[in-house]
Amino acid sequence: MLGRLKGWLQGGAATAAGHPAQAAELRVLMVCTGNICRSPTAEGVLRARLARAGLGARVEVDSAGTQGYHTGEAPDPRAVKAAAARGYDLGGLRARPVQPADFQRFHWLIAMDEDHLAWLRRKAPPGCTARIELLMPHGRRHAGVTEVPDPYYGALAGFERVLDLVEDACDGLVGRVQDHLGGGVRGHA
């Protein structure tokens, strides 16, 4: 099945989050600054959408930050609250920084904003075959929005906005994953 991905996604066999290497045909890493607001939200939403599409066992999703100053911490309580109100569980997630091995481990590294995208591209080792791109261009309902804004210094409404954007973009991502893995049921994401 991985042969179908050749030319589109390539990567190593190691995994994060304790998943067996053979279990995931595709590995996706969501990236923001501290890995306590946007990227764990995106991880939780994408996992749920993939599970609903019947692809949960085939795709590993993780998240990390460009900075390590929240390493080991749970997501921001406001992110957890906003996500829970929509049925997403972020409770077991813990912040971690992007590691050099992530560029080989993951097929797809997805940045929340332009700064994260630039950082990932700078840190990618020579010969890196992982796709590195922004999340929001995958969205369908938020034309012209290119970044997921950082809600950290704002109120709960900012976390709701993040969820609106992330849900839209993750629906688009699920469609791309379905197209490339040749699985799942269209329209259920």
Q: Quote the pTM value.
A: 0.86
Q: Which residues contact 98 (CB under 8 A, 6 or more apart)?
A: 29, 31, 64, 65, 66, 109, 120, 123
Q: Give the phi and the psi of residue 109 in degrees, each rounded to 5.
A: -110, 120
Asked if residue 189 is part of any domain, the answer here is: no
Structural domain includes residue 41: yes
For the sheet with 59-65, list strands across it. 59-65, 26-32, 108-111, 131-134
Q: Which of 32, 47, 102, 105 is catalytic?
A: 32
Catalytic choice (27, 38, 78, 105): 38
CATH code of the domain containing 173: 3.40.50.2300
32 is catalytic: yes
Based on the residue annotation, tell me whether 102 is a catalytic residue of this protein: no
Residue 142 lies in a domain: yes
How wide is the angle at C-alpha 120 spanned by C-alphas 27 and 26, nearest 5°?
A: 10
Residue 93 lies inside a defined structural domain of this protein:
yes
| 76-105 tens-digit pLDDT | 999 999 999 999 999 999 999 999 999 999
The pLDDT confidence band at residue 118, using thresholds 50, 70 and 90, is: very high
Decide if 16 is inside a domain.
Answer: yes
- Average pLDDT estimate for 135-164: 97
**Assigned domain for 186 exists:** no
Give how many domains the chain has, as a whole number: 1
Position 135 in a domain: yes
- 122 is a catalytic site residue: no
Note down the domain range covering 57.
2-181
